[in-house]
Amino acid sequence: MDNLSPRRRSENMRLIRSKGTKPEITVRRALWALGYRGYRLSCPGLPGKPDIVFNRRKLAIFVHGCFWHSHNCREGKRKPKSNQGYWLPKLESNKRRDSRVRRLLRRAGWKVLTIWECQTQDSARMVTFLSNQLASLFY
């Protein structure tokens, strides 16, 4: 049973953003610190509208929320307690869509990097992780 009234739940859900989230900003700051500045944000012309795109290098970066995309971490394994008939299929369809989008991008010659919300908790580790990932993808 939901502890919040339907009105309060609706207000909470309305506050959840899809662009400019804290994890996305953490990734962008790490990219900036590493000297990577030639990227675009939320490219609607590509499948899945990647959060960060390096067009010349054909790299699409997705910054996924662990819960919303069912990551294999503590937060991603958490299941909703109310309205499971709606949310469980919704979360499963998000996973299928993510897989399909990655496949479409790779077939089009793009490299795809997925960064999970839980990976962005420590800024220093995020810089190290991105440095290693981008070095292997770019060079």
Instruction: Report the CATH number at residue 18.
Output: 3.40.960.10
Give residue 130's pLDDT: 92
Q: What is the pLDDT of residue 108?
A: 96
**Residue 111 is assigned to a structural domain of this protein:** yes
pLDDT for position 27: 94
**Parent domain of 93:** 6-138
Residue 1 lies in a domain: no
Structural domain total, the chain: 1
* Residue in this structure with the two tokens 């899945």, named with its chain if needed: 48
Tell me, yes or no, whether 59 lies in a domain.
yes
Q: Report the SS3 class of residue 14.
A: helix
Question: What's residue 22's pLDDT?
Answer: 86
Within-domain flag for 93 = yes
How much is the pTM?
0.83
pLDDT in the model for residue 135: 87
CB burial readout 81-110, b (16+ within 10 A) else e: eeeeeeeeeebeebeeebeebbeebeeeeb
Could you list the pLDDT tens digit for every one of the 139 residues in the chain?
Answer: 567 676 776 666 566 666 678 899 999 999 999 999 889 887 888 999 999 999 999 999 999 999 989 999 988 888 888 788 988 999 999 999 999 999 999 999 999 999 999 999 988 888 999 999 988 887 6
